[in-house]
Chain A
């Protein structure tokens, strides 16, 4: 009886959590007349990929294909991941491998800057981007997202670096390996899984971001996916089929990546913060 009640509650929670995601995918596969019918069908009775075709080929809005926005988003996210991974790895090595006088201050700063409300930085960063001549360019976003993803990346990566046994490096040093060799041959391969996890978080940060992209980009051909979504579908009478198809395309890579690293997410944010 008790088991039954617990399982029932579990199913309710699962339904509440997963239903909107299911509904997004289901709607994206329904033909328009089924979407706008008075009685919604729980599953698509005549599944179709028409909405996906429409947004990707530019059928829906003449001359506008979401393939371009995909390319822009991927470019920005990939550059952010590479830069932030490299810089974070260096910093994480410093923090995890050395005892130096400003180490604690640096860690505190890392914690505090993660709490800066990024929404409050739109105006000064808009100014910086204007002055650097980067307004309406993709590098303006790469730079911005690098700053946003770096503190968490360092915070997370330091745990991975610290987990590599120091003895391995010492053994290599005794065998005559230089610091650069130790870094490249010993530390890097062992930290690689952590680097992948960290990269995924930087990727998600860059892929999902809306406000800064909305503010820094002007020309349609520069839009990233989130900007394109709000620009083309922010109007009142919304074509829900294509909107859900585009939403699904944006969401799927994030969900796949997220499931790969979710365990580390908890460790990074809470246990990492709690246990150090």
Chain B
């Protein structure tokens, strides 16, 4: 920030063009200053702090306040986590969940985007508005509604399964009475419902982005392919997808980043942090740090691992965006 240094004092009262220019040089930095202070103080400094904390044994809130010393333990927190089989379960849960959710979100979102592009004007507006509702709903309340839909006594899903003919239900699932069935009790079912909730929240963004992408490229190519007798599958993979490749790349990266750190939906669906069998990285970090007994250092180390994974993904994202800006 060399331009911030003072212009050499001149005795001339009139502003020389050079001085005026130097003042203009300084102005953008002055305008940026509050923003830099906020980002530096509230995002970058804590990011450094979390790394620093991960090298200490911190299991008391008074250490956090700075009233007690921080024993430096080097990489102990990391060694403890990486050597813990539970961490491997959590990592596996996180990766599998992210892969499944990103894949489903992309497929559903793309299909809906393509559909919105083909629908008539009024129908497209109607479907588009409904899709917006899912997008706009806060993660918290959206998840609560799904929890109600899967309620084990009066939930809609429980009712639906009860409404199946008893013989069919028994043949398929081995039970005909679904009242009291704990939809969230088995980890696999829990993750399936969590995936459903997160896909419901995130496919609208993909759909609308794909639609925006479709509208920005000429449709003649697709029509030409269609006239030449190519089916929809062929048209998509040979014409549409190559044209929209940059958009898809960015959407996949953004979705990966978002789905890797899902917290609110998981927290609400699981009703807190008691059920360790459904932990993923972000909630694991939180629970280690804040559930009694608090282990802030250990939680920080998990947070650092999560951040490093996401930074690698972000690296790809930034490279893609910059390549877009250049072209």
Contact = CB atoms under 8 A, between A and B. Distances in A.
Contact of B296 (A123, A179, A238): A123
Interface in B41-60: 41-47, 49-50, 53
Nearest to A39: B159
Given A117-B310, A146-B42, A150-B38, A6 B115 contact: yes
Contacts of B159: 38-40
B65 interface: yes
Residue among A20, A39, A128 having the largest count of chain B Cβ atoms under 10 Å: A20
B178 to A, nearest CB: 12
A190 interface: no
B22 to A, nearest CB: 12
B250 A13 contact: no
B31 interface: yes
A102 B321 contact: no
A188 interface: no
A254 to B, nearest CB: 6
B177 to A, nearest CB: 12
Interface in A26-43: 27, 35-40
Interface string B287-314: 0011000001001100110110011011
A276 interface: yes
Assign chain A's interface to a size class. 35 or more
Given A115-B257, A147-B42, A123 B145 contact: no
Assign chain B's interface to a size class. 35 or more
Interface of A: 3, 6-7, 9-11, 13-18, 20-21, 23-24, 27, 35-40, 86-88, 90-91, 93-95, 97-98, 100-103, 106, 108-113, 115-117, 119-128, 130-131, 143-144, 146-148, 150-151, 154, 179, 204, 207-208, 210-211, 215, 226, 229-230, 233-236, 238, 240, 243-244, 247-248, 250-251, 254-255, 258-259, 262, 265-266, 269-271, 273-276
30 contacts: A14-B130, A18-B130, A21-B134, A21-B145, A35-B154, A37-B154, A86-B34, A90-B35, A111-B318, A113-B44, A115-B311, A119-B261, A119-B286, A119-B303, A120-B47, A120-B261, A120-B307, A123-B300, A123-B303, A125-B46, A226-B138, A229-B141, A247-B145, A251-B137, A255-B137, A258-B135, A258-B136, A262-B136, A269-B254, A276-B324
